[in-house]
Amino acid sequence: MTSVQLFNLTTIGYFVAMILFIAYLVTRSRIIALTATIVAWVGFATNTAAITLRWFEGRAMGYSQAPLSNLYESIVFFAWSILFIYLLMDLKYRQRAVGAFVMPFAFLGMTWAQLGLNDAIEPLVPALQSNWLTYHVITCFLGYAAFAVACGASIMYLLIVNKNQESGFFSIFPSSKVLDDINYKSIMIGFPLLTLGIVTGAAWANYAWGTYWSWDPKETWSLIVWFIYAAFLHARFTRGWAGKRAAWLSIFGFAATIFCYLGVNLVLSGLHSYGS
Amino acid sequence: MANQKETTFAKKVADFFCSLKLTIFCLISLAVTSIIGTVIQQNKPRGEYVQVYGENLTNVFEKLQIIDMYHAWWFLGLLFLFCVNLISCSIKRLPQIITSVNNPPLTPDESYFKSLTGAKTFDSKLPPDQARERLSNLLGERFAKAKTTKADGTIHLFAQKMPWARFSVYVTHFSILLIFVGAIIGNIWGFKAYVNIVEGTSVDQVWKQGEKNPLKLGFEVRCDDFSVTFYEGGQRPKEFASVLDVIDNGQEVISNRKIVVNDPLSYKGITFYQSSYGSAGAATFKMRVTPKGGSGRIVTGQEGDHIPLPNGGSFAVNGYAAEYQGFGPAVQMHVNTPDGKHGNPFVVFQRHPEFDARRGGDYAFALLEYNELQYTGLQVKKDPGVWVVWTGCFLMIFGSMAAFMLAHRRIWIAIVARGNGCTVRFGGTTHRNRAAFDLYLDELTTEIESTLNAPAGEK
Ligand code: HEM
């Protein structure tokens, strides 16, 4: 078994879990919801095993780096992080319908990685040989994942708000109050993680190049994302922004997050071009 | 009248700087304007802008300082506004918070209780003093030590947890100012420069970006060696390394310190980072030249020179690769015939000395040594503000987690005598996470009830 095969199994697991969650929305069967959750757990375990195995594969090739160094590795870790945050939220809220709006992010990420990206394990160029890289990637992606969950909950919120939830399709959705809370709690988890991600990135840059901040496009975009979520939290804490406006801001914030992660590499130029 | 007008104007200005609207305005404007600098490349030569945007637009960019926008007056102004907002908010709110934390109402009246979270009233058969003892113990065990106050025949209990959590927001906000202070210190008392050191030589001065005159270091840095290594069988660089010594006052204080890209050298607050490298003059090589059927002879020479061969011809080396198609270091060379005809170029590998005999020329060449004199390019940096920045980052992370997760919780209980028994009023407040506090108070309420209902004399 190679790690790439395990990643394929992970992708299939996430696909099945996603379909089951959607089936749950339609059928309202608790058994389907439970099965979906179990499949999601199994997929998460496979994802974990695959990342670990890839680490060992790298070691066997004589590279000591953590498997977090190129676009392929970062996106499978992103999928792992999304599941991690989602399953944490599921343990707390047990609102299975949310899965139908979060699993697609993980599934899309895995599919793109498996179909479109180079999965070779390559040694690191000198600029990336640092433990700071590992801390930086882990904190950033856990933060991004929390924002993904917040975005999923916000989309659901916008679908059900002002709708009658007594009966019909939307009655299986969590109440708008719960969705709003999931949105807010996820951002509250994600924000300190993003802060930590930016700080570890700055610490690394300072250690490697002697400048902790150089306004490179990736850095600047991470700061833009930080500003957006800071605005979200302040609007919430002191002006009581909740509900619709909060949901839109959260979706907008996640769009900026994705741009920061992918758009900057694909559209703009700068330092962080994943070793290309 | 005029005075009043003035105060309202002053108040308006103060309110403006303290308002959260201004905060959100600053955050959003910074986010939006920052985008400009990521779309339009920064600090490029003027010509490049003219090529992409045309003369007129480039002039506009220059006027608005968009090509160096993170140092533009309007961007720095926005950051300044952001700081003023933060400072004025704290000045306005902090004293109120200190007062409210230090002087909680110890004897609240009935209407105050009604405004509290989880407000409840119980009737108990217990005499007030016994109720006080039991409730005080319960609070002490389950929440925090209670403070007892007696007023107008009513017994008041007050207990609170983590009052200092109120200040975590201010720690967070202060941390942002600290980061700015650190950045300013770095800008004023620090510098950023570069220097190239040829292998085997030393320097005692460095050059700041865009400045003509060098900056004296006050000590010397020598480069013993620079090397590039590659991953097995490829062009992918594995390591750029320089071996450096520091000589201060004629003493070698640091010897043979190897620096690589992620591992710099620091001395007296000045840090040297591996940054670039290049060739410094012609390279020398050592070769064994073996005539067909004869025995070999060692020849040394300089790259580019024509070196005579016994048959009247000559050879020259004119290229080197540290890694040639997975076979390791190699030189490119050619042989000239005695009548001066230029032969075809061929490649000789250092790791395969027997290889060249198979070419079938009059002479077989084996590369023994190749010394390319190189220089190492170092980034030199001094930043006395960096620790202030890290302190700020540390405070920001812990401050913001505390601001989100820790709550200042307070509980009040009033015990009013009623006949032989008493009436107990109960309620609390929290400054964060009301939902969790509600659940907590629900549990506490049940315990209070059972404590109060236990027969007198028992616990
Ligand atoms: C890590 C970043 C930040 C965190 C975690 C944070 C947290 C908070 C919190 C929790 C509050 C609510 C205070 C309360 O409950 O009374 C608050 C208020 C406020 N924040 Fe921030 N903040 C951050 C950054 C900023 C920044 C960058 C500004 C920029 C100007 C700012 C300006 C303000 C202002 C003006 C208020 C209202 C002041 C008040 O009502 O006391 N904050 N912040």
Global ipTM = 0.85
Give the model's pLDDT for residue A276.
35
Cα B370 off chain centre by: 42
Q: Give yes or no: residues A11 and A119 share one domain.
A: yes
Ligand 1 centroid, distance to B398 Cα (angstroms): 14
Q: How far apart are CA B376 and CA B381, in angstroms?
A: 16
Return d(Cα B254, Cα B247) in angstroms, integer: 7
| B23, B87, B393, B396: residue to mutate for ligand 1 pocket, most atoms within 8 A of CB | B23
How many angstroms does the Cα of residue A233 sit away from the middle of ligand 1? Answer: 8
How far apart, in Å, do the first and last CA atoms of chain A sit? 28
What pLDDT is attached to residue A106?
95
For chain B, the domain total comes to 4
What is the pLDDT of chain A when averaged over all its residues? Answer: 87
Band (A122; pLDDT cuts 50, 70, 90): confident
Same domain, A97 and A151: no
Separation between Cα atoms, residue B126 and residue B417, nearest integer Å: 9
Domain termination site, one of A77, A107, A123: A123
Helix axes A3-27, A71-93, angle to 10 degrees: 40
pLDDT recorded at residue A271 = 44
B1/B58 Cα distance (integer angstroms): 53
The verdict on A139 and A253 lying in the same domain is yes
- A153 or B292, which is more confident? A153
Domain that holds residue B14: 2-99
On whether both B116 and B51 belong to a single domain, the answer is no
pLDDT of residue B459: 47
pLDDT at B352 (0 to 100): 85
- Please check whether residue B401 lies inside any domain of the structure: no
Could you count the other beta carbons within 10 Å of the beta carbon of residue B189?
12
Quickly list DSSP for B66-123. Answer: GGGGGGSHHHHHHHHHHHHHHHHHHHHHHHHHHHHHHS--SS--HHHHHTSEEEEEEE
A23 with A72, same domain: the answer is: yes
Which pair of tokens denotes residue B344? 């075809």
Task: Report d(CA B323, CA B331) in Å as an integer.
Answer: 10
Q: pLDDT digit string (tens) for A23-63?
A: 998 888 889 999 999 999 999 999 999 999 998 888 887 77
Who has greater pLDDT, A231 or A166? A231
Whole-model pTM? 0.81
pLDDT band at residue A153 under the 50/70/90 scheme: very high
CB pairs under 8 A between A and B: 105
Neighbour-count burial of B197, counting CB atoms closer than 10 A to its CB (0-12 exposed, 13-18 middle, 19+ buried): buried
Percent of chain A with pLDDT over 70: 95
| Per-residue pLDDT, B281 | 75
Q: With an 8 Å Cβ cutoff, is A177 touching chain B?
A: no
Cα distances (Å, whole numbers) of residue B122 to A54, B113, B147, B149, B390: 63, 13, 20, 20, 53
Burial class (CB in 10 A: 0-12, 13-18, 19+), A96: buried
A122 touches chain B (CB under 8 A): yes
Q: Give whole-number Cα distances, B27 to A182, B22, B30, B81, B375, in Å.
A: 24, 9, 5, 11, 46
Q: Residues B313, B232: one domain?
A: no
- From A207, A213, A239, residue closest to B20, measured CB to CB: A239
| B87 Cα: distance to centroid of ligand 1 (angstroms) | 11
One domain, residues A269 and A158 = yes
Q: Are residues B182 and B277 in the same domain?
A: yes
Same domain flag for B273 and B289: no
| Amino acid of residue A134 | T
pLDDT at A272: 46
My answer on whether A134 and A246 are in the same domain is yes
Contact A231 B24 (CB under 8 A): yes
Q: Is the pLDDT assigned to residue A70 strictly greater than 90?
A: no
B206 and B217 in a common domain: yes
Least confident of A17-31, A79-93, A115-129, B173-187: A115-129
pLDDT of residue A23: 92
Q: What is the pLDDT of residues B99-143, one digit of tens each?
A: 988 888 888 888 888 888 888 888 888 888 888 888 899 899 889
Q: B249 and B321, same structural domain?
A: no
Q: Are residues A53 and A180 in the same domain?
A: no
Where b means 16+ CB within 10 Å and e means fewer, B83-101 reads eebbebbbeeeeeebeeeb
Q: How confident is the model at residue A140 (pLDDT cuts 50, 70, 90)?
A: very high
Same domain, A143 and A101: no
> Of the residues A108, A123, A138, which one is the last residue of a structural domain?
A123
Domain assignment of residue B390, yes or no: no
* Co-location of A114 and A154 in the same domain: no
CA distances from residue B200 to B220, B223, B241, B374, B376 in whole angstroms, order as listed: 13, 6, 14, 9, 11
Q: Which residues of chain B have pLDDT under 50?
A: 1, 459
Q: Which of B351, B353, B312 is nearest to B335 (CA)?
A: B312
Examine the fold and report which residue of B382, B417, B437 is the final residue of a domain before the chain moves on: B382
d(CA A139, CA B315): 58
Ramachandran quadrant class, B411 (left: phi over 0; alpha: psi -120 to 50; beta: rest): beta
SS3 state of residue B309: coil
Do the Cβ atoms of A149 and A257 come closer than 8 Å?
no
Of A93, A123, A153, the last residue of a domain is A123
Are B323 and B230 in contact by the 8 Å Cβ rule? The answer is yes
Same domain for A164 and A83: no
Running DSSP on this structure, what letter comes out for residue B18?
H
Residue in A208, A209, A212 nearest the CB of B386: A212
Which residues have CB under 8 Å from B48's CB, separation 6+?
A: B41
Query: Is B298 found in the same domain as B232?
Result: no
What residues are in contact with ligand 1 under a 6 Å CB criterion?
A: A 195, 230, 234, 237-238; B 20, 23, 26, 82, 85-86, 89, 93, 169, 172-173, 176, 396, 400, 403
For residue A93, the model assigns a pLDDT of: 87
Range of the domain at A107: 1-123
Per-residue pLDDT, A149: 94
Cα separation of B4 and B353, whole Å? 96
| Per-residue model confidence (pLDDT) at position B125 | 85
Q: Quote the number of domains for chain A.
A: 2
Spatial CA neighbour of B415 closest among B213, B209, B129: B129
Contact B384/B370 with Cβ under 8 angstroms? no
The CATH number that applies at residue B145 is: 3.30.310.80
- Provide the pLDDT for residue B72: 87
pLDDT score at A274: 42
pLDDT of residue A158: 93
Same-domain check for residues B189 and B114: no
Percentage of chain B modeled with pLDDT above 70: 97
pLDDT at A188 over 60: yes
pLDDT reported for residue B233: 66
Residue A235: Cβ within 10 Å count? 20
Tens of pLDDT along B356-412? 888 888 888 988 888 778 888 888 889 899 999 999 999 999 999 998 888 999 999
Q: Measured between CB atoms, does A182 come within 8 Å of chain B?
A: no
Residue B441 domain-assigned (yes or no): yes
